[in-house]
Structures are given as C-alpha cells and as structure tokens.
C-alpha cells in the first residue's frame, strides 16, 4: 500500500535537520556551558528556530511532490479530529486522548504522514484551546516524533500488531512526558533544590537531578497517559486500523503527476504546450 506522504530525499534531509535541532533544544541543559547563553535568551531563540523548522518540514513535504490532494485532505481531517479530542480530557490525571489516534494514523499512512500529523494536530489544538506559548514547539516535535516512529514499526498483523502498538503507545506516553519536562525544568524549580537545574554541573550529576525531578513531579502523570494509550489502542485500535486501511485503499494515494509538454505543429513550426 502506497504511503499517504512519500518521503523523498529532500524531505528526509529536512526532517533530519529539524529533528537534530529539536534534540539540541530538548537537551541543551546538559550540553550548554555556563555563560555561553543567558537563561533568558537561549529558550526564545530555540523556540523561534524550532517553529520555523517545523513549518519548513511540512512545506518541504508538499514542495517535494510527496503529497497529493487526497492525502492533504486526510491530514486536515485527522488534525481537526485530534484537535477536538484533546480538550475533552483536559489532561486530568494524565489521561490524554490525542496520542492513540496519532499512533494508529502513523502506522497506516506512514512515517511522513505521522510526522506531519503530529505537527499540525498540536498546532491546531493550541489555536483551539488558546495554548499557544513557548512550550508549543516542544509539543509539536514530541508528537511529530511519536507519529513518525509509529510508521517505522515492524510489519505485523492481527493481535501481534495490536500488542506491538499498545506497547509502543505506553513507551510513547512516558517518552513524551520525559522530553516535555525538559522544556521547563531549568526554570521551574527553586535553584537551591536538589532536583533543580544547576549550570556547570557534570553531565552525570545534572542527569541524576533531572531523573529525580521527572520521577517526583511527572511519573504519575505520564503513567496515566501511557495507560490511556494502551486502553484506547486495545479497545478501538482494530476498528480504527481497519477504517484507516480501507480509506487508504480507496484513496490510492499518488504523488502529483509531473507536468508534461506535448508537441504541436503549426505550419511547419513545432511548439510545445502543457
């Protein structure tokens, strides 16, 4: 089955570059030397670069001819559904309904579609709920990676596929929280605390502080997210996967056909026209 978004070499380069910058933005507390940037200047710079790169990746997919009108329509519909699902739970006790659909769509429609859906659905959700802020690029990247990796999972079917996706959904729930905490950890804890970010510490000590911070402030919340993903994928995953695969077969996604020029002769003169 053809993927909804064909990831061509230029798109691979764009996604790779964006992901590398994204990793730097997530992990900068462990690698930036004290005094290189001030704590108030570094994050806004990262946020601006991240947001520009996310948009560049999506447009690179379209410009590279890897997405047709049907795939674009599917992307818009699923982004709207995900944006509408997200406010229903309000993140109560870590219950978040935005991820299971992202995992299932990435699984069926491919890694390129999963990456784009993660970006667009979180962007649409932020606009819908008024959640636009410096944390938004982090959320967009986190969801983009979850959708992309879902499309790269091994080819399985039946109960084995559901078990694999449920396990992946649990891991994704914990991973998303672990990464997103890095977006505010350096600024949210009393500097004198034993779990606070402290510039200049050796990597292992800094890492130990962050692990303690994540375990004491976020582990319960992330467990709720992971369990939500597992339950949703097990209960509705088979039906949703079947519906997505049926839609993909009917859509028969194709990249836009290249423009061809036809030769036309006028009184002995050969011209070319579209």
What is the chain's pLDDT, residue by residue, as a tens digit (274 residues)?
556 676 677 777 777 877 887 787 788 778 765 555 555 445 556 666 666 676 676 666 655 666 777 878 888 888 888 888 776 665 565 677 888 889 999 999 888 888 888 888 888 877 776 667 667 778 888 888 999 999 899 988 889 999 999 999 999 999 998 988 887 887 777 777 888 888 778 888 889 999 999 888 888 888 888 999 999 999 999 999 999 988 888 877 655 554 444 444 445 554 454 5
The residues facing 265 across adjacent strands are: 270
Go through the chain and tell me how many residues it has.
274
Domain boundaries, the chain: 9-273
Q: Do residues 142 and 19 lie in contact, with contact meaning Cβ atoms separated by under 8 Å? A: no
Q: Do residues 39 and 186 lie in contact, with contact meaning Cβ atoms separated by under 8 Å? A: yes
The residues facing 264 across adjacent strands are: 271
The residues facing 263 across adjacent strands are: 272
The residues facing 266 across adjacent strands are: 269
DSSP string, 17-72: HHHHHHHHHHHHHHHPPTTSS-TTTHHHHHHHHHHHHHHHHHHHHHHTT-B-HHHH
- Spatial neighbors of 248 by CB under 8 A, at least 6 apart, are 1, 2, 4, 108, 109
Q: Does domain 9-273 have CATH number 1.10.1760.20?
A: yes
Least Cα distance to 256 among 15, 49, 67 occurs for 67
Output DSSP code: residue 187.
H
| 47 HSE (CA, 13 A, CB side) | 13
């Amino acid at each position: 089955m053809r993927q909804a978004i064909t990831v061509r070499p230029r798109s691979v380069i764009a996604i790779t570059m964006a992901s590398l910058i994204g990793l730097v933005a997530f992990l900068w507390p462990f690698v930036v030397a004290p005094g290189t940037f001030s704590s108030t200047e570094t994050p806004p710079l990262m946020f601006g670069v991240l947001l520009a790169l996310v948009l560049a990746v999506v447009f690179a997919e379209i410009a590279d001819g890897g997405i047709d009108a049907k795939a674009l329509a599917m992307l818009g519909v699923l982004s709207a559904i995900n944006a509408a699902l997200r406010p229903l739970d309000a993140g109560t006790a870590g219950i978040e309904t935005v991820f299971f659909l992202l995992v299932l769509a990435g699984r069926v429609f491919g890694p390129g579609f999963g990456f784009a859906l993660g970006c667009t659905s979180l962007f649409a959700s932020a606009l819908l709920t008024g959640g636009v802020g410096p944390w938004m690029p982090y959320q967009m990247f986190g969801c983009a990676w979850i959708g992309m990796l879902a499309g790269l999972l091994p080819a399985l079917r039946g109960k084995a596929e559901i078990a694999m996706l449920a396990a992946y959904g649990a891991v994704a729930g914990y991973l998303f929280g672990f990464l997103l905490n890095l977006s505010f950890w350096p600024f949210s804890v009393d500097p004198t605390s034993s779990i606070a970010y402290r510039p200049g510490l050796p990597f292992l000590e800094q890492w130990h502080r962050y692990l303690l911070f994540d375990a004491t402030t976020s582990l319960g919340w992330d467990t709720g997210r992971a369990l939500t993903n597992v339950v949703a994928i097990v209960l509705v995953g088979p039906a949703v996967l079947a519906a997505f695969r049926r839609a993909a077969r009917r859509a028969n996604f194709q990249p836009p056909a290249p423009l061809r020029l036809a030769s036309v002769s006028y009184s002995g003169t050969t011209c070319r026209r579209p």
